[in-house]
Structure formats: structure tokens, C-alpha cells
Amino acid sequence: MKGLGNFAMVLETYKPCIAMLFIQFVYAGMALFSKEAIAKGMNPFVFVVYRQAFATLALAPFAFFFERNKSASLSCNLIWKIFLVSLFGLTFSLNLYYVAMNTTSASFAAATSNMIPAITFIIAVFLRMESISIKEWHGAAKVLGCLFCFSGALVFAFVKGPSINFKSKYLRNQSEVTIPSLIKSHSKGEWVKGSLTMLSANTTWSLWLVMQVPLLKQYPSKLRLTTLQCFFSCVQSAVWAAAVERNASSWKLQWDVDLLSVIYCGVVVTGITYWLQVWAIEKKGPVFTAVFTPLALIITVIFSSLLWNEILHLGSICGAFMLVGGLYGVLWGKNTEWKRQEDERKSEMRKEETVLECITQQ
């Protein structure tokens, strides 16, 4: 019994770590499943429609039961704002992401997601929601981290070098017979176009993250807000897909990887992962959750190489290290700045308490 009690205590201590590991596996699975479905011919615009539809259906019951007593009201002006934020954030971002996935790889998608904190920081600076102090170490770390992130993404996309494969020669020969590669050979122009599209997708996603701050002040019901945005994004993506894809057969879902992928991305990624991430942030803070982000890249690279014969290059590995290093630079700078602000705030509170004590004693 004592052993079971100790095990329960250890499990309770490491719950946030276990949750974040699970989340990174989920994100890696999103890149892998999405790549497989699109590589086998599913239209990327149709994929987004079904993904957002399943996400809306998954979130709606939770939004109704857990936030039905909240008094947040919706005005026509607020609905219009949510509609626009969904259009320029979710709809553009997801459609660009899956279009880029068609001409890049799952590894590249996972790698460039590490740029999102840096891009978000830059957008926040332009909107005066963040400040930069180059004279301070934490300010310099944030700026250098952003530069490393962008440099790493460029190196990952455009620098090749010698090829690297995790499999032995025997395993490669066997997999070529049994498992066909899902990595299509694209021209340099297609790869460059896909890389720039993926960077655009990450930029619009970062813009969506920044726009959540003023939106949540007006409508603090987070779960209902997310559900509404998924619904609007589903409708907008359906209009976009209908205009681009006129073939009715492209809309049919069968019991194959296409259906599995859209359910996985809609229900698991948007539903379960959302709750776990919020819980982990409440327990350990946003910096703790962001530290685990590069694990999705490592998991994706390993599984892409083992399952789909994806061949990495030395340039890609170097670019990935630069991306991760830049990410941690931004996170370290932001965390240091936050701690300093907290210390200053506590110091001001202590001064005010001291002044009040002096006044009451007099």
C-alpha cells in the first residue's frame, strides 16, 4: 500500500509533464495524418472544412454544459468581430497550412511551428502589446531568438547538404517493397512556394493568437468563443472549398485514412488537446507548456523517416537546431522579463503596505 501511495504521489507530481508529452505526440500525429491524407489525394480545402466541422461538433457540448451559466452576451458588433478574426486567423491559416503540406513535408510543418512564438512576439511588438529593451539581457535574448528562428526556418527550407536516413540499408530496402513513400518528389520551385506558404500560415496563426487578447476581454467565455470561431471557420472554408473544388467525389469521406485524419485533427487536436493545454498552463504556466514544443518536431522526424522513407538532409538538421535554439531564446527572455515584472509588482505592493502601516500607527 505504501508503494502504491508513493507511486500516486510521483504520478501527481509529473502529471503536467505527462500531459505535455501526450500533447506533443498529438501534434506530431496531426502533421503525420494530415500529410498522409493529402498525399493520397484528399483536397486540402475540403480537409479543412471537415476538420472544423468535427471540431465544432466536439466542442459544442462542452461549451453548452460548462459555460451555460456564464453571463457573457453576444452583440451584432461582437459577432462580426469574431467572424473576421476566424476568417483572418483560423480559415486563412489552416487552408494555407494544408496547401503547403501538399508540396513540403510533415517534418517541415512541425519544424516551422517552432517559429510561431517568435512571429507572435514580433506582431505584438508592432501592435505595442510587447516591449523590447535591447539594453537588458532578456530583451536581447528575445530579439536574437527571433533572428535564429527565422534563420533556422530558411536553412531548413533551402539548404540541403548530405542526406541522412535513420534506417539501415536492409530496413530501407524492405520498406521500399512493403511501404511506399508518401514523400513526393517536388521541383525546387514547388518546395520554395510551399515553404513560403507554410510561413504565411504560421504568420496568420500568430496574428490569430494576438487577436484573442482583445477578443477575450469582450467575450471571456473561452470555450464558447473557440466553438464559435471553429463554426465560422467551417462555414468560411466550405464557401472557399466549394468555389475551388467543383468535383462532388472530392467531398466523399470513406472509411479510410481521410476520415481518420479529419476526426483526429478535429476531435483530438482541437478538443482533447485544448483542455489538456489549458490545464497544464493553469498548473505550471505558459512557459512550461511552450518548452515542450520542439518534441513534436523530433517525434515527427523519427516517424516520417521510419514509416514513410522521408530522407532528411544535414541542412534540415542544422535548421531545426537553430529553430529550437531561437525558440528557447525567446522563451528565456520572456520568462525573465515576466519574473522581473512580478518582482517589481511585489516590491511596489510591499512599499504600499509599509506606507499604510506608518499612517495607521500615526
**pLDDT by residue (tens digit) across 112-131?**
887 777 787 788 778 877 67
Say whether pLDDT at 171 is over 50.
no
Question: CB–CB of 233/86 below 8 Å?
Answer: yes
Q: What is the pLDDT of residue 146?
A: 79
Residues 6+ apart with CB under 8 A from 224: 63, 67, 70, 72
Selection from 87-91, 331-335, 353-357 with the highest mean pLDDT: 87-91
Whether residue 106 contacts residue 31, with contact meaning beta carbons closer than 8 Å, is answered with yes
Task: Report the largest interatomic distance among the alpha carbons of the chain, rounded to a whole angstrom.
Answer: 89
**How far apart, in whole angstroms, are the C-alpha atoms of residue 57 and residue 61?**
7
Burial of 95 per CB tally in 10 Å (0-12, 13-18, 19+): buried
The pLDDT tens digits for 35-62 are 888 888 888 899 999 999 999 998 888 8
Which is more confidently placed, 228 or 8? 228
Residue 7 pLDDT level (bands cut at 50, 70, 90): low
Q: How far apart are CA 58 and CA 157, in angstroms?
A: 35
Q: Are 206 and 120 in contact (CB under 8 A)?
A: yes
Mean pLDDT of 357-361: 66
Inter-CA distances, 82 with 74, 108, 167, 216, Å: 10, 30, 47, 10
The pLDDT value recorded for residue 241 is 93
Give the model confidence (pLDDT) of 213-227 as tens digits: 788 788 888 788 888
Q: How confident is the model at residue 12 (pLDDT cuts 50, 70, 90)?
A: low
Signed CA dihedral, 77, 55, 51, 123: sign only:
positive
What confidence category does residue 188 fall into, taking pLDDT thresholds of 50, 70 and 90?
low
Q: Which of 25-29, 254-258, 259-263 has the lowest mean pLDDT?
A: 254-258
pLDDT of 122 reads 80
pLDDT, position 87? 92
Distance CA 225, CA 219 (A): 7
In tens, the pLDDT along 67-86 reads 777 666 788 899 999 999 99
* b/e code 128-142 from CB counts within 10 Å (16+ = b): eebebeeeeebbebb
Reply yes or no on whether the pLDDT at 282 is more than 70.
no
Contacts (Cβ under 8 Å, ≥6 apart) of 46: 241, 245, 250, 251
pLDDT above 90 for 164: no
The pair phi, psi for residue 279, each rounded to 5°, is: -65, -45
Instruction: Quote the pLDDT of residue 128.
Output: 75
Q: Average the pLDDT over 22-31 and give the result.
A: 86
327 has pLDDT over 80: no
Q: Which residues contact 17 (CB under 8 A, 6 or more apart)?
A: none
Contacts of 165 by beta carbon, 8 Å cutoff, 6+ apart: 172, 305, 309, 311, 312
| Band (298; pLDDT cuts 50, 70, 90) | confident
- Sorted by where each begins, the domain ranges of the chain are 19-66+74-361
Judge whether residue 95 has pLDDT over 80: yes
